Structure 1
Amino acid sequence: MLSPRSVAVIGASDDPTRIGGRPLSYMISRGFAGPVWPVNPKRDRVQGLAAFPDVDALPGVPDAAIVAVPGALAEAAVEALGRRGCPAAIVFTAGYAEVDEAGQAAQARLVSIARGHGMRLLGPNCLGLFNAPLGYFPIFTASFENGWPAEPLPGRGRVGIASQSGAYGTHLFGAARNRGIATPVVVTTGNEAEVTLGDVIGWMAEDDGIEVIAAYSEGVREGPRFLEALEAARRARKPVVMMKVGRSALGAHAARSHTASIAGDDAVTGAVLEEFGVHRARNTEEMLDVAYAATPRIYPARNTLGVVSISGGAGVMISDAAEEQAMPMPPMPEDAQERLRVLIPYCNPANPVDCTAQVFNDMTLVGAFARAMVEDGGYTSLIAFFTQVGASPSLAAKLRAQLNAVRADHPDRLWVLSVLAPPERVREYEADGYLVFEDPSRAVVALAAQGRFGAAFARPPRAAVPLPTVTLPAEAPDEAGAKRLLEEAGLPAVPEAATAGVEEAVEAARRIGFPVVMKLLSPDILHKSEVGGVLLGVADEAAVRAGHARLMANAAANAPSARVTGILVARQVSGAVEVALGIARDPVFGPVAMVGLGGVFIEVLRDVALRRCPVDVTEAEAMIRSLRGFPLLDGARGRPRADVPALARALSALSAFAAAAGERLASVDVNPVLVLPEGEGAFAADAVIELG
């Protein structure tokens, strides 16, 4: 499909501006080396090439075929190609699952035909693809009327574009071309009835002609294939920059109507992309900035930023951007700062290093300051802010010579010049090996992404997590049953007992020790506090008897149809931090583990961390430490430090339980988990398991 030796065009047009004519025109003019066979029953020749009335009349079996005919004719064409043994079809035809249920049925038939013949199918409802080095252009975009793709410049790399949207995919290509970024391969996947975005990313991860992958997604189909592709790119040290749209409810609806995608939960998708080191771009500009900054192929795993500037204001702006991106900007060593003060007594030598306008009088100072930052500061990424000095006829050549001397000795660093200069001067700097940005804040975002790529590339593959044996009950369990299942999987519960009558409840409370908590047991009541089903601080046997009567009365009054299986009596724990753990089943990526601090942190601030199940204890602890409210677990304001390792073990055990339980497990809510001081453990105080 992507590197064929021969191509057939079903529905070929003699008009090079029509959908069936553009691919022929492009391949003829761009020098595709193999035979191109137009299929058109009404013409003997199409755009100067011998034409054939149907697929059966072709002189050979094409490696790939373009299907550019409407409706039922497309289905017949795929069937005919399959009978001939054609291994790949690119279907431009629209009117399938993106439209209505009848279109979904027609799309299913198309896929069934293709798979029955062992044929890969791109689309339908796709714009096509191109592989420029081969002169191969099975695509009907108008982009090539607007100028030929820019030739690769030194250090500008080869960026592959994979896009579910055809028009937006070629928009990215055009925008990249305008930035001088080489994009030799673009693939648009349309409805993804058979070939998915994950398939394309996986191919690009393995192709030697692609160094950086830029992807546009409206929703992920075939989650396992997508995950395999991201892991293949990570192993190949190829950055993936993705624009995943559909964050909003309105955007998710538009994605469904556009390409029949499953948008999935946006927060889950974000967690998955983070897991594999994918940079999620907020817009086209950021996507191209990050891809452009990746083209030197320098990915520092421990990334630090050093800034040398002739503007104190620019230094402050860069520092703000670095803090937003969590990019470290450590200060220069004290002895290095003293040496810089000797050169310019009124400079600011910390970081950002402000070398002041004094460099206008002595450009060698630029070289001295830049060298100190690299050799004394040890920064892996550097921004040199020289605004219009970079284009000045009287100063630019001297500036370039000074910086080049330092850069030549340290080619393993990422160097950004923030200058305002005409295109020809920018190309000179890029040829020297610099990334050039007018806006230094955008440069910070792009440089921070390179460090995250490096950290992801340095990580070992995800550790295997042993899974327990899980047998789910026929029906959703009550709280006591849910806790028993989870305890068997390694998530301990607060000492408790499920009781059937009042005297049994009294005996349990006596055994556990006062004060106790009493709760209704019912598989039908998910939120017991809302029906008066929880009593705290039950202090003695008389209170247990009174509490038992009160709970049963509340159940009868507030949840009359609920099945009440008994009363749960549990130890009341004090001095703990409340944490919520949970499992949700994502339609694309399967079970996902969640951790968040209780109370307003999870309900209002949505301070949670998510990961695909299962996670090992190390990854679980990293999730916990990523929470904005983690200081409450770490001894903030004189509190004792909580038993974070015990909480991490509980989260890991819950995730393994979910991975082992299978698709019948819809969700788990363990809230709260009571995390005691260091060394004292973490215990589930409530649990709900929902089955599908």
Structure 2
Amino acid sequence: MTDTFSALVSPKSVALVGASEDVARIGGRPLRYLREAGFGGSIMPVNPKRETVQGLTCHPDIASLPEVPDTAILAVPARATLDTVHACLDKGVKSAVIFSAGFAETGADGQRVQEEIANVAREGGLRLLGPNCLGVMNPAKGYYGTFSVVLDNALLNPGVVGIVSQSGAYGAHIAHLARARNMGISQWITTGNECDVDVSEALDWMVQQPETRVVMAYAEGVRDYERFIDALEKAQSLGKAIVFMKTGRSSAGAVAAASHTAALAGSDSVFDAVLRQYGAHRAASTAEQIDVAYACATGNYPTGNKVGIFTLSGGFGIQLADDAESAGLDVAPMPDDAQIRLKEMLPYSAPRNPVDATAQAVNDLDLLTRYVRAMMAEGGYDLFAGILGTAPTSKTFAEPLKRAFLAAMEGQEDKLRALTITAPADVVRTYEDDGFLVFEDGKSLAGALSALCRFAEGFARFKSRKEIAPAARLDLGKGPLSEARAKEILSRAGLDFPPEILVPVGGDVAGAAATLGYPVVLKVCSADIAHKTEVDGVAVNIRTPEDAVRAAEKIERRVREERPDARLDGILVAPMVGDGVEIIAGVTHDPVLGPVVLFGLGGVFVEVLKDVTFRAAPFDIDEAHRMIRDIRGFPMLEGVRGAPPCDVDALARMLSDLSRFAAAHADRIESIDLNPVRVMPQGQGVMPLDALIILKEEDSR
């Protein structure tokens, strides 16, 4: 990452072009904020109409500045932006923020102007943030290069939470919510139209900052998917959490008519799966994003997902237990002998888990301390979740209750502890200061704890991850490709296919069938016919030479009638495979995240239920196993109703090999379909029965 990017976010000097005396204006707010924050560097207002601005000496233009600033804030109209960028380049400025709107978001004319500004800046080595953005903040440095009204009443406290947002308004909103939740901000970057700096680069830079523990990100999409994935990997390697809000649901379907895989792969579902693949958390709501970031800000991650729930009310405990199980936490019961001892301590308690001490416990807080201490010592829990309700608001009861819980937790400092409390912010702060995570709602608590567990798993997974060997580049030739040619290419990439024979038009189909052994399948083989069923080009369960000849003649006749323009290579003769579980696998080039692999059960599961999952290519065999277990129908592969378990290891190898091939040929392949694939019983491998490779348009001419 270049020094110019650091200068953009952490400058030692700043020029404010378009500086205003009016602190309510776009050109006045940043100056007001910088002065109130005590920014320690040089602040150089630029405005040809004034000699001073807000008490500081004002300069008529950029050329007259007494020094070259690290960064420039451009609070000028859109029509003046290009000239101002030229002036920055002439002065030697290396980074700038463009506040103005009126560019690509307005249409073709605005897009052309934005591209011209970007090209001029790029040629001169000037890094740009924006246009149409709210700027950047670095509270620890006292740097507020923004006009956001979120700072009107109070500046942000420095802290460990970073924010990267394409939307300035959303970035400001979650900064406000974070401040209300007692979270300090490390850096805050809004990227706007992204004529230069995009959300991927900002995220990549931010996760590498030592003071940042967790990043909240917002995007409708990403432009540089390689850098985006690299940023996710960096975060995992450093043990830093990314909590992502992704909006915008669109189809990748430019080739959906030709590729079944592409038709199933909406950009949104792919984005969701890729975030999981690289250990990031996708929030379903802003509230969830704040809750999870709040939990991650401590930097304390559990070693397991076993949660002990303590309550003074059975009903609330049951609700939290339901929420915890729904979130994937293990609400394991207390050991039987421990339950007996807890029952002896409090005869009216329900000590299973949730552990309900009943209101009786509050009559003797020393007893409550012993009870909770025994629960945590003997339950083997990784997480403690307590339900206190409004009790901490009591003037006479609040402080003794907190002391009782702190005493109970002595010796359990390695256990993550969380509470549900309904109380004023100052009361909540006292519990947070003593190491408790505090939530008002049990469902929020359960969701945040579950996210912490998944982050911990992801961090551990990264440490044990093996290097993925790149696949060799193969000569794919020109498209379109027939099934036989697609299988020949994929065989060289490591995939195994059943033995097949391509019989030229008018050739000895019966002889080929006899060589393979009946029953067989006959299929039209033509690079011009992607979907054989559209021309009735498949005949199955052929059992005699006579049937084979008749079926071949029928297929050839049908093709000549329906597709006289199609080049016909012949008839592909293949063995009839009916065993195993049918799945679908494939590759699509997602417009946001590049080459991704799809996997799901075949038949009704894919056609109706769309029970599929995705991974960004390439990935290793361990990740392929996790991918396989992502789908709801995975138990089908384990064997149901007496069926033997399937060869999941062979399936994982195939998916990993397919991903490596896709990554190596990302510049040429639009999509791949392997449908159907038969996953045979354990030890017998996988059998892809059909293959379709669609090359990118420029390679298909």
TM-score by length of 1: 0.94
Q: Partners of 1:592 and 1:59 in 2: how far apart?
A: 52
Deviation at 1:502, TM superposition (A): 4.4
Residue 384 of structure 2: which of 382, 390, 393 is its match? 382
1:107 aligned residue (102, 105, 114) = 114
Does the residue aligned with 2:678 lie in a helix, a strand or coil? strand
Alignment pair present for 1:448 and 2:450: yes
Within the alignment, does 1:438 sit opposite 2:445 as a pair? no
The answer for the alignment partner of 1:63 in structure 2 is 70
Contact 1:308 / 1:369 at 8 angstroms: preserved in 2?
Answer: no
Q: Structure 2 counterpart of 1:377, which letter?
A: G
Distance (whole Å) between structure 2 residues aligned to residue 458 and residue 61 of structure 1: 45
Question: The residue matched to 2:9 in structure 1 has which SS?
Answer: coil
Distance across 2 between alignment mates of 1:264 and 1:493: 29
Deviation at 1:396, TM superposition (A): 2.4
- Secondary structure class of the residue paired with 1:492: coil
Residue 165 (structure 2) aligned to one of 157, 160, 163 = 163
Q: How far 1:669 moved relative to its partner? A: 0.1
- Aligned counterpart, 2:224: 222
Within the candidate set 426, 430, 433, 1:428 is matched to: 430
What corresponds to 2:42 in structure 1? 35
Give the Å deviation of 1:264. 7.9
Shift of 1:91: 0.7
Within 5 Å, give how 1:265-664 maps onto structure 2.
265-459=267-461, 460=463, 461=465, 463-664=467-668
% identity of equivalent residues: 45
Residue 390 (structure 1) shift = 2.7
Q: Could you tell me which of 657, 660, 674 is aligned with 1:670?
A: 674
Match runs of 1:8-87 below 5 Å:
8-87=15-94
* Paired AA for residue 64 in structure 1: T
Deviation at 1:566, TM superposition (A): 0.9
Q: Distance in 2 between matches of 1:462 and 1:118?
A: 38
Write out per-residue CA displacement over residues 255-286 of structure 1, whole angstroms, 9 at most, x where no aligned residue. Answer: xxxxxxxx981112112211221111111111
- Deviation per CA, 1:50-82: give whole Å up to 9, x if none: 111111111110111011112342111111111
Q: Which amino acid counterpart does residue 152 of structure 2 have in structure 1?
A: E
Tell me which residue corresponds to 2:137: 130
User: C-alpha offsets along residues 603-644 of structure 1, whole Å, 9 cap, x if unaligned?
Assistant: 221111211112222221221122211111111111111111
8 Å Cα contact 1:500-1:567 kept in structure 2: yes
1:144-175 CA-partner distances (Å, limit 9, x unpaired): 223343x57xxxx5211111111111111112
Structure 1 residue 184: Cα displacement: 4.2
Deviation of residue 199 (structure 1)? 2.1
The alpha carbon displacement at 1:40 in A equals 1.0
Give the 3 Å change call, closer, same or farther, for CA 518–402 of structure 1 in structure 2: same
Please give the alpha-carbon distance, in whole angstroms, between the structure 2 residues aligned to 1:679 and 1:212.
44
Q: Secondary structure at the match of 1:573?
A: coil
Q: CA deviation at 1:416?
A: 1.1
Deviation, 1:586, is 1.6
**Structure 1: distance between partners of 2:494 and 2:688:** 11
1:249 is displaced (CA, Å) by 7.2
The separation in 2 between residues aligned to 1:567 and 1:24, in whole angstroms, is 76
Q: Which amino acid aligns with 2:444?
A: R
**Mapping for residues 248-267 of structure 1, pairs under 5 Å:** 265-267=267-269
Q: Partner residue of 1:257?
A: none
Deviations 1:539-571 (A, max 9, x none): 110000111121122223333433322111100
**Cα deviation, residue 301, structure 1:** 4.1
User: Residues 238 and 368 from structure 1, CA distance in 2 versus in 1: closer, same or farther, beyond 3 angstroms?
Assistant: same
Aligned to 2:255: none
Q: Cα offset for 1:503?
A: 4.3
| 52 and 462 in structure 1: CA distance in 2 versus 1, 3 angstrom threshold | farther
**For residues 214 and 50 of structure 1, do their structure 2 counterparts lie closer, same or farther at Cα, with a shift above 3 Å needed?**
same
Matches within 5 A, 1:82-97: 82-97=89-104
2:379 partner SS: coil
**Larger CA deviation: 532-541 vs 585-594:** 585-594
Contact 1:512 1:570 in 2 (8 A): yes
Whether the 8 Å CA contact 2:505–2:569 is kept in 1: the answer is no
Q: Which one is further off, 664-673 or 210-219?
A: 210-219
Match of residue 5 from structure 2:
none
Contact 1:429 1:436 in 2 (8 A): yes
Deviations along 1:556-608, whole A, 9 cap, x unmatched? 33334333221111000122211111000122322111111101111221111
Determine whether 1:147 maps to 2:146. Answer: no
Scaled by the length of structure 2, the TM-score of the pair is: 0.93
CA distance in 1, matches of 2:395, 2:53: 55
> Following the alignment from structure 1 to structure 2, what is the Cα–Cα distance between the partners of residues 424 and 662?
54
Alignment partners' CA distance in 2, 1:201 and 1:274: 17
Report the Cα distance in structure 2 between the residues aligned to 1:548 and 1:200, rounded to whole angstroms. Answer: 59
Comparing 387-396 with 437-446, greater Cα deviation is found at 387-396
Which AA in structure 1 matches 2:349? C
- Residues 16 and 462 of structure 1: CA distance in aligned 2, closer, same or farther (over 3 Å): farther
Q: 1:373 to 1:470 in 2, by over 3 A?
A: farther
Please list the CA deviations of residues 297-318 of structure 1 after superposition, one character each: whole Å capped at 9, or x if unmatched. Answer: 1112422211011222222222
SS of 2:69's partner is coil
Distance in 1 between the 2:686 and 2:173 partners?
Answer: 52
Question: SS of the residue aligned with 2:244?
Answer: strand
Secondary structure at the counterpart of residue 448 of structure 1: helix
2:520 aligned partner, one-letter code: V
Deviations 1:80-120 (A, max 9, x none): 11121111101112122222122222122111222222221
CA contact (8 A) 1:96 1:104 kept: yes
Partner of 1:254: none
Q: Offset at 1:7?
A: 0.7
CA shift for structure 1 position 9: 0.9
Shift of 1:248: 5.9
Aligned to 1:260: none
Is the aligned partner of 1:211 residue 2:213?
A: yes
- Work out whether residues 159 and 214 of structure 1, in 8 Å CA contact, stay in contact via their aligned partners in 2: yes
On the 8 A contact 2:37/2:155 being kept in 1, the answer is: no
Larger deviation: 68-77 or 86-95?
68-77
Structure 1: runs of 5 or more not aligned: 251-262
Compared CA separation, residues 8 and 608, structure 1 to 2 (3 A) = same
Give 1:209 deviation, angstroms. Answer: 2.7
User: In the aligned structure 2, how far is the partner of 1:311 from the partner of 1:323?
Assistant: 19
Retained in 2: the 8 A contact 1:472–1:661?
Answer: no
Once the two structures are overlaid, the 10-residue window that deviates more, 408-417 or 574-583, is 408-417
Q: Which moved more, 1:428-437 or 1:507-516?
A: 428-437
Asked if structure 2 preserves the Cα contact closer than 8 Å seen for 1:595 and 1:610, the reply is yes
Cα contact 2:222–2:593 (8 A) shared by 1 = no
Query: For 1:358 and 1:537, how far apart are their aligned partners in 2?
Result: 73
2:25 is paired with a residue whose SS is coil
Q: Is the 8 A contact 2:250 2:267 kept in 1?
A: no
- Other structure's SS at 1:383 match: strand
Given that 2:583 and 2:601 are in contact with CA atoms closer than 8 Å, whether structure 1 keeps it comes out as yes
